[in-house]
Amino acid sequence: MKVVGYWPSAQNLAMAARLMDGKSLNKLNNPQFASVTQWSNLSCSRGELLKTIQIYTQMMKNGMHPDNYTFPYVLKASAMMKNCHLGELIHGHSLKLGFLFDIFVGNTLIAMYSAFDNMAAAFSVFNEIPWQNVMSWTVLISGYAKMEDLDTARLMFDDAPVKDRGVWGSMISGYVQNNCFKEGLQMFRLMQSTGIEPDEAIFVSILCACAHLGALDIGIWIHKYLDRSKLALSLRLGTALIEMYARCGCLDSAQKVFYRMPHRDSICWNVMISGFAMHGDGESALKLFFEMEKTGIQPDDITFISIFTACSYSGMAYEGLRVLNSMCSVYNIEPKIEHFACIVDFLGRAGLLEEAKEIIQRIPNAGRPFEEAVSWRALLSACCSHEQIQLAEVAAERLLQLERHSGVYVLLSNTYSVAGKHDCARRMRKIMRRRGIDKTPGCSSVEINGVVHEFVAGKKMCPQMEEMHRLLEIMNKHLDYSGCNPNLFQVDGT
C-alpha cells in the first residue's frame, strides 16, 4: 500500500488510480490511512474531484474512519464541484465523528459554505468553532466580500482580535474586488501604520486599485518598494504593474516592466496590448499582437477584444477586419457578443454604418437583452458622431426595447442637437423627465500628494469645492481678458 505514496509528483496518475481503486482497497486487510489521505489530496489537486469522493466512499465501506486531514480535502472537492447537498452530507458526517471543534475542518466548512454563497451557514460554523484562529476570520471576511456584503465584512474585520497579513489582505481585496478602490487604498494605509509588511496578494490588489483610480504615485512607490526588497517579479505582480502603468498613461514604464519579465503568459500580453488600445495606439497594439504570435503564445478571446478596441480608437477598420478573419480562420475562435460589439464600433467610427448594422443583424440570438444592447449602443453612438439621424432612430428604438437606460435618450438627444434639430432634442429630455429617468452623473478622480479625491457631477463631495470654484472663475476672467473662450472652464453651480 505504501507504493501510492510515491505518486504525488508522478505523471502517471492513471496508474495511481488503478492502485487505489475499489478492488484494490477491498483486497487489503489493513490499508494505511495516510496513503488514502495522500491520494485524496492528489486527486483534489489534479482536478480529479469525483475520484476524491469515490475514494472517500470506499474508505467508509472498508470501515476506515477519516481524520481532520481527510475532511478538508473532501469538503474542498464538494465546493469545487458546486455540490451543496454533498457538502452538507460530509458536514453531517464530520459532526457524527466528533470533528465539530476541529479548527482545520471548521475553517474548510466556512470556506465551503462561502463558495456556495451560504453565508448564514458559514457564520453558524464560525460561531461553533470554540477557538477561531486568524484563518477563520480571513475566510469569513472573504466570504462576505464575495457576496458584496462589505458592511458585514468590515464588521467582522473590526471584531477580529488578531489582524495578521491574511486578515488585512482579505479586507483590502474585498474592497478592490467590489470596485471600492478608494476604500481599498485607505485600508492599505491603515495596515501600513500597524507595521505589517504586505505580501504579493496585497500588492496585486493595491496596484489594481491604483490602476482604476489613476493613483500613479502610490503605484510607483510600490514598484520602488519591490525593487528595494529584491522581491522576484512574479507573473501576477508584473502583470499588475503593467496594467497600473498602462491605465495611468505611462506606456513607456509599462513596456519596460513587460520586457523585463522572464516569463509572460497570454494574460500579460493581453494587458500590454489593451494598454496600447486604451490610448489609441493601434499600430503598437497590432505590432505587439504579431510579436505575440511569433513567440507561440496562443491568443484568446480577450486578445482579440483588445485588438478590435485598438482598431476602433485608431480608425483602423480594415486592419480590424483582417484580424477578424485571422481569429476565425486561423485560431478557430467563434466571435462572441463582445467581439461583435467591438466590430460594430470600429466600423461605425469609420463611417461604415450600414455595414455595422448588417453585422448586428447577423449576431446569433444572444439570449440576454443587455448583450445585444451593447452592439446597438455602439451603433447609436456612431450615428451621433456622423449625424445619421434616421439610422440613429432605428438603433434607439431597438435599444429602448432591450433596456431602460438614460444613455439611449442622451445619445439620441445629442444626435438631434448636432443635426440642428433642437426641438427634437428638447422633446427627448421631456420624455426623460416624464418617465423619471435620470442621467447617470459623470464622475472623476485626481491624486494629489498620494491622496485620491473623487468628484461626482451635482454633488459637493470635496470640502475645497467652493475654493476650486473661485479659482475657476479667476481663470475664466483671465481667459476672457486674453481673448480666449472662457466657456472652457465653465463652472457648474449645481
Q: How far apart are CA 328 and CA 28, in angstroms?
A: 55
What average pLDDT is seen over the chain?
A: 81
Give the three-state DSSP class for 80.
helix
Q: Which of 85, 94, 88 is nearest to 60 (CA)?
A: 94
Count other Cβ atoms within 10 Å, centred on residue 110. 28
pLDDT at 215 over 60: yes
Average of pLDDT values for 404-421? Answer: 73
Q: Look at residue 318 and tell me whether its pLDDT is greater than 90.
A: yes
Q: What is the mean pLDDT of residues 411-431?
A: 75
> In this predicted structure, which of 1-5, 89-93, 193-197, 462-466 has the lowest mean pLDDT?
1-5
Asked if residue 397 is part of any domain, the answer here is yes
The residues, any chain, with a CB within 8 Å of residue 399's CB and separated by 6 or more, are: 373, 376, 377, 380, 405, 408
Write out the three cell numbers for 362: 447577423
Nearest to 153 by CA among 116, 190, 185, 180: 180
What is the model's pLDDT at position 481? 60
CATH number at residue 424: 1.25.40
Pair (299, 344) in one structural domain: no
In the numeric block, the cell 452530507 is attached to 89
> 353 with 429, same domain?
yes
Residues 424 and 429: their CA atoms lie apart, in Å, by 9
Distance between CA atoms of 485 and 477, rounded to whole angstroms?
10
Same domain, 281 and 361: no
- Per the structure, the count of domains in the chain is 2
Q: Is the pLDDT of residue 244 over 50?
A: yes
Residues 345 and 435 in one domain: yes
Query: pLDDT for 443-472, tens place per residue?
Result: 666 666 656 666 666 566 666 777 777 887
Q: Is the Cα torsion angle 337, 340, 345, 348 positive or negative in sign?
A: negative
- Domain assignment of residue 428, yes or no: yes
The fraction of the chain above a pLDDT of 90, given in percent, is: 45
341 with 394, same domain: the answer is yes
The DSSP-derived string for 115-152 is HTT-HHHHHHHHHH-SS--HHHHHHHHHHHHHTT-HHH
Same domain, 418 and 386: yes
Q: Are residues 306 and 384 in the same domain?
A: no
| Residue scoring higher pLDDT (6 or 244) | 244
Residue 412 lies in a domain: yes
Report whether 479 contacts 485 (CB < 8 A): yes
166/196 Cα distance (integer angstroms): 10
Residue pointed to by grid coordinates 470533528: 99
Using CB atoms within 10 A of its CB, is residue 423 exposed (0-12), middle (13-18) or buried (19+)? exposed
d(CA 154, CA 171): 7
Query: CB neighbours of 146 closer than 8 A, spacing ≥ 6?
Result: 114, 117, 174, 177
CB 380 within 8 A of CB 409: no
Task: Write down the pLDDT at residue 360.
Answer: 86
Cα angle value 336/340/346 (rounded, 5°):
145
Query: Is 360 in the same domain as 429?
Result: yes
The residue from 282, 297, 323 where one domain ends is 323
Nearest CA to 271 out of 209, 208, 216, 337 is that of: 208
**Structure pTM?**
0.75
341/421 same-domain check? yes
The mean per-residue pLDDT over the stretch 231-243 comes to: 92
Q: Is residue 488 part of a domain?
A: no
Unique residue bearing C-alpha cell 477519516: 66
In a domain, 219, yes or no: no
How many residues does this entry show for the chain?
494
Least reliable range by pLDDT among 205-214, 307-316, 406-415: 406-415
- Choose the final residue of a domain: 442, 458, 485: 442
When pLDDT is averaged across residues 332-360 and rounded to a whole number, the result is: 90
Tell whether 318 and 366 lie within a shared domain: no
| 3-class state of residue 99 by DSSP | coil
Tens digits of residue pLDDT in 347-406: 998 989 889 888 888 887 655 667 778 888 888 888 888 878 888 888 877 877 777 666
Residue 380 belongs to what domain range? 335-442
Same domain, residue pair 319 and 339 = no
224 domain-assigned: no
pLDDT of residue 323: 95
Question: Is position 342 within any domain?
Answer: yes
SS3 label, residue 483: coil
Domain closes at, from 421, 442, 463: 442
Query: What single letter denotes the amino acid at residue 223?
Result: H
Is 349 found in the same domain as 428? yes
Query: Residue 179 falls within a domain, yes or no?
Result: no
Q: Which residue has the higher pLDDT, 437 or 385?
A: 385
Distance of alpha carbon 397 from alpha carbon 240, whole angstroms? 41
CA 485 to chain CA centroid, nearest Å: 42
